[in-house]
Structure 1
Amino acid sequence: MSNAGVVDSFDFLDGRWSVHNRRLADFLDPGSGWEEFDGHTTGRLHWGGRAHVDEIVFPSKGFSGLTLRLYEPETGEWTLSWSDSRTGRLDPPVRGRWAGDGTGEFHGVDTYVGKDVRVRFRWSGISATTARWEQAFALDGGEWVTNWVMEFSRA
């Protein structure tokens, strides 16, 4: 689905990656302090590139996560759904698409510590050997708080 450097799918994420994480202690409090830790992920394409599944492992945190990414031809959008080994629950998906500049932005709704939040995932800096993912939350009517950043490098 990607053509000559144009990012419109998750083909780039196929295979093995090392991941450096920066995450806020409290996802809604920008002053709560950042923690840093490493992880590694392995992803695989399915359905001719219209589906991507990966597992990310955080050895120092003692948990891992799975992401399911599905392309919907009817809408031209992707849905991204996350689950982790601590809960075994599939979180509500975020939905969106790739822009002409190679960034992907995906939005949804969820809850965090009992509060309804808007969720934004943003992919950028994509090359054969690098990628960047950011997560941000916002309370209803509030400003976005970027609370988790992953820097990917090809393993």
Structure 2
Amino acid sequence: MAAHTAARKPGIGDFDFLVGTWDVTNRRLLSPLTGSDEWEEFPATTVCHGIAFAGAANVDEITFPTKGFSGLTLRLFDPVGEQWSLNWANSSTGRLFPPVVGRFDSEGRGEFHGDDHHEGTPVVCRFLWSGVTAVSARWEQAFSADGGRTWETNWTMDFRRRPDAEAV
């Protein structure tokens, strides 16, 4: 997590750790919200760039070589609400999905929520960021079809910084 100074608003720079090139191991539930426990595992590579936005934005592109699509995340910090919006698009649909919004806590765990749909079913979507170090991080996605009372994790990503990629 980025260190905060008196002049820097809390939350600014929270995603600075992600700038660079990462190898990613994905585990994705094949049939979310069906009671299935069948998972698939596949690789990805992501490259994240900071934007000259005073630590309040970054963008990454993730490539899934065995899946035939890529994704893009734009992260923006709202200094008034002191929270981040994470905005995802993938090359399969060419559309921006509804954002998830939230923040990191004092322990370095980020939690973000937003309303979405999965195959026609309204869901609350949750992203969690945890285990952030200079060389690793974990992201997971979960859906709730009951307004957030119960959650089903359906996708995890374990990030490993490329040895030749410098940490920020």
TM-score class, shorter-chain normalisation, is over 0.9
Over 6 Å off, 4+ runs:
none
Q: 1:41 corresponds to which residue?
A: 46
Identity percentage of aligned residues: 53
TM-score scaled by length of structure 2: 0.87
Q: 2:156 corresponds to which residue?
A: 149
Give the C-alpha shift of residue 20 in structure 1.
0.2
**Cα contact 1:30–1:147 (8 A) shared by 2:** no
Q: 1:93 corresponds to which residue?
A: 99
Give the C-alpha shift of residue 30 in structure 1.
4.5
Instruction: Structure 1: give runs of 5+ residues left out of the alignment.
Output: none
1:60-79 → structure 2 map (5 Å cutoff): 60-79=66-85
1:59-138 → structure 2 map (5 Å cutoff): 59-138=65-144
Residues matched between the structures, number: 153
Q: Deviations over 1:2-28 (max 9, x none)?
A: 118xx9410000010000000000122
Q: CA RMSD in A?
A: 1.5
Q: Which amino acid aligns with 1:27?
A: P
Larger Rg: 2
Q: 1:2 corresponds to which residue?
A: 2
Q: Higher strand share goes to which structure?
A: 1
TM-score scaled by length of structure 1: 0.94
